Chain A
Amino acid sequence: MRSDRAPLWLRIAAGGGLLFLHLPILLIFVYAFTTEERTYQWPPPGLTLHWFGAAWNRPDIWAALGLSVKVASISTVIALVLGTLCAAAVSRSRFFGREVISLLVILPIALPGIITGISLRSAFSLAEIPFSFWTIVLGHATFCVVVVYNNAVARFRRVSGNLVEASMDLGANAFQTFRFVILPNIATALLAGGMLAFALSFDEVIVTTFTAGQQQTLPIWMLEELVRPRQRPVTNVVAMVVVIVTFLPILGAYYLTRGTDTVAGSGK
C-alpha cells in the first residue's frame, strides 16, 4: 500500500522544516543587497549592489580569503595523503587493534571542535610551537583526514585484494599496481573526500580560534566584522561567497560518489 503522494500534513511539515533550515540563509542573501548599513532592518529600505564593490575593494577581505583558501588547500592535501594511507592499511591488512585504529581516526570528527581546539592549543604551547599558518593547517587536518579516510576506506573495501594480485601476476610492480589499478578505482572517492575536506576547512571557526595567532581566516574575519557597526552588508556579501564556495564542492562530491557507486559495485 503506497500512495504516490504523501499526506498533506506531512508535506506541510516537510516544507516547514525546509523553510526553518533555509530561510535564515536566504535572509543573509537578501541583506547583502540592502541599503541600510548599520542595522538589519526588515524589509530592507532599498536594494543596491554597492556592497559588492565595497567588498571587492577591501584588502582585509582579500587577505582573509587568501588565507582560508591556502589553509583549506594544504589541509586537504595533507588529509589526502594521510587519509589514503590510513585507509589502505586498515582495509588491506588484518592486524591486532585494527578496529581501535579505525575508531581513533574517526574520533576527531565526533569530538566537539572546542575539545579539539583546546587540546591542540595546549599541545602547541607545551611543545612551544608558536601559533602560525601551520598550526591552523594542523588543526584543520585533524578533521579533514577523517573525511578522506571515510571515503577512501569504503572504496578500498571494494577494490578486492584479488585485483592487486592480478596486476602483480601480469607483471606490474607495487608502484605500477597503485598507478594503474588502485588509483583509478579510488580516484573518485578521493576527489569527493578532498572536496568535502576543503569545504569543511573553509568554513571552520572553532578549531581555528584556538590554533590561529594573529591570522584571520575568512570565517573569523566575518565573526569579528559582525560586532562592528560599519558596512554590515559587506559581511553578507562575503557570506554569500562562502556559501557558494563550500556548497559547490559538496554538491560535486555528492554527484561523484553517487555516479560511481553503481558502476564500481557491479564491476566485479
Chain B
Amino acid sequence: MDLENQRRIKEFAEQYGSEDFILVLGGGEAEASGLAAETVSVGDPTFAGPLAGVSLGLKAYHIFELKDEIDPAVYEEQISMMEMVLDVDAIMQEVATYRG
C-alpha cells in the first residue's frame, strides 16, 4: 500500500479510533486489495511504510461488498461497469480474509 496512504490512515485511526472506522477499498485486483486490507488490520507486510509493525485492527471492505448499502442509481452509474470487468468474487473473498 502507498506509503502516503498508510500515513493518512494511521492519522485518521489515531484521531477517530478504530471502533467506528472502516476502510473502503476500490482496488481492481484481489491480491492488491488483500494486501491493503492486511496492512490496515495487522500492519504493513512489506515493512516499508508507517504501518510496519503497527496493528490498527481496522476492518476493510471492498466497495463491491457494500453494494446493498449504496443507492442503486449511484452504484449503477459509478460501479456497475467495473463489476463486469473485474473478478468480483476473488476480490471479495480475499478482502474478507483479513476481517477475522
Q: Do A and B come from one complex?
A: no
